[in-house]
Amino acid sequence: MENLTLTGMLTRVAGEFPRRRALSASGKFDLTYARLQELVESAASRLVSAGINVGDVVALVFPNTVEFIIIFLAVIRARATAAPLNPAYTSKEFEFYLADLKSKLLLTSEEGNDRAKAAASKLKHPYATATLSGVDAELALSLTQSVADPISVTKLTNDPADVSLFLHTSGTTSRPKGVPLTQLNLASSVQNIKSVCKLTESDSTVIVLPLFHVHGLIAGLLSSLVAGATVALPAAGRFSASTFWLDMVRCNATWYTAVPTIHQIILDRHSSNPEPVYPKLRFIRSCSASLAPAILDRLEKTFGAPVLEAYAMTEAAHLMSSNPLPEDGPHKAGSVGMPVGQELEILDENGMLQKPETSGEVCIRGPNVTKGYKNNPEANKDAFRFGWFHTGDIGYFDLDGYLYLVGRIKELINRGGEKISPIEVDAILHSHTDIAQAVAFGVPDEKYGEEINCAIIPREGSGIDEAEVLRFCKKNLAAFKVPKRVFITDYLPKTATGKIQRRFVVEHFLAQISTAKVLKFGA
């Protein structure tokens, strides 16, 4: 395991399945594993000739395109570090990330990104583009050779300790934290995903999540490639409910992975406008946020495939635990499964192991886990203790070894001393047939310290109101867990991956409350 590299795994797959389709580029052309390998090696040589050295950081700003995939693999093949950035960032955000990364080069698609380019120009940061015009063409890079006699890329041997991927986690009360992930971290994680999902060369999937995020990049793309499977990029260039199943049928998809919000959109689309034909799926995977049991049940019944709910974090190169395929064990409602390929334990505040069915902080260690945040000693001191990475999540194991998450430590609602898990309230809200999306959250309260509120998006055509939501909650929840206020809305703040983050929801609706008070009292 200690000698494992992602690049080595991909090289072996290219040798084993040279003629198999690796990538389907938005329906325009397909790349075999042999051709993908050629393009990656060639692009890596160009990067080395342009002066990219071992350990240099290359910032990547691309939509989900074949160019991004080739460049990402070429950067890590050259023993440099790839740092994918969200194309939707503002110029100020690009300035922050480029400066924080200390990157040597910014690469974008041929169309470019005006905000990224403006940030690079302001920082006097090198900037170039990458384009692939067809299956037989070479990747065109707007780079000039800057090294008189560069080392041949064939002489570069990837090392498990190479930092290949650098991502930033979302900041909560502080600046985003930089997470360096090595070849070994990535290889270990994709190996774990391949194993639990039993991915083979017979599988195929459509990428519906952005590739600048760990979920789409590692679980969707890289895990498929190390299995010799096929990855298709959607015709729309991103997730689109109206074309999702057409893309899935076109590539004979056997599975897909997504966040709960996307699963809900897919279900709603099916209810209002079902497709004439659906592919035969081996499984559906859900990760990045808690999937309400009612939504999981609807997915399985609607599409006739088991849903594997998983638990992941950027610091663990994505996967930490997963429910198994039906042949390997039961799926337990509300559980995020069992540990996969690493140690996962529940610790108390003193670092002592907790017994089964006793709550504590979820902690992890293993070859897929980063050694620590970059240049952030305070965050490292807090998160890396007692030889474990402390996730900030509260959970417990049942007697069978299945993990259940109670919530984020910072998101648990303390209502007059009663600790309330917003995940539990979410699950009840999602079980109402007229609620499409829902999220519970805590707000300041003079009497109890915190009070619980919730926001819901009604299902299309539904006339559900606050009174009905409260009636349903009073029937299914203990009195102290019933929301004090219900927001009926058509919008919930989400991250770029479609994940609902409670802190954004709290900020959004607290602003509405404050505005309403100002209007009421004429302040």
Quick one: which of 286, 270, 288, 268 has its CA closest to 278?
270
CA–CA dist 144, 68 (Å, integer): 20
Dihedral pair phi/psi, residue 70, rounded to 5°: -65, -45
CA–CA dist 423, 425 (Å, integer): 5
Quick one: which of 286, 316, 311, 287 has its CA closest to 167?
316
- pLDDT at site 235: 81
Spans in the chain with pLDDT lower than 50: 172-173, 516-523
- pLDDT at site 210: 94
β 283-286/255-258 pair status: parallel
Q: Token digits for 233?
A: 């990029």
- pLDDT at site 521: 37
Q: Which domains does the chain have, with CATH numbers?
A: 6-394 (3.40.50.12780), 413-521 (3.30.300.30)
Dihedral pair phi/psi, residue 159, rounded to 5°: -115, 145
What is the chain's percent helix, strand, coil content, to nearest 5?
35, 25, 40
Contact partners, residue 513, CB within 8 Å, separation at least 6: 443
- 386 C-beta neighbours (distance < 10 Å), count: 11
Taking phi first (over 0 means left), then psi (-120 to 50 degrees means alpha), and beta for anything else, what does residue 259 get? beta
Residue 518 three-state SS: helix
Angle between helix 183-197 and 6-16 (nearest 10) = 50
Hunting for tokens 């050295």 — which residue is that?
Answer: 53
CA–CA dist 292, 52 (Å, integer): 46
Give the CA angle between residues 389, 392, 394 to the nearest 5°: 115
- pLDDT at site 209: 95
Quick one: which of 260, 273, 255, 215 has its CA closest to 436?
260
Dihedral pair phi/psi, residue 280, rounded to 5°: -85, 110
- pLDDT at site 172: 44
Q: What is the pTM of this model?
A: 0.87
- pLDDT at site 173: 43
Contact 205, 224 (CB under 8 A): yes
Contact 401, 387 (CB under 8 A): no
Question: Residue by residue, what is the 3-state secondary structure of 109-156?
Answer: ECCCCHHHHHHHHHCCCCEEEEECCCCCCCCEECCCCCCCCCCCHHHC
- 362 C-beta neighbours (distance < 10 Å), count: 28
Question: Which residues does residue 419 pair with via DSSP β-bridges, in sequence order?
Answer: 414
Q: Token digits for 283?
A: 């499984």
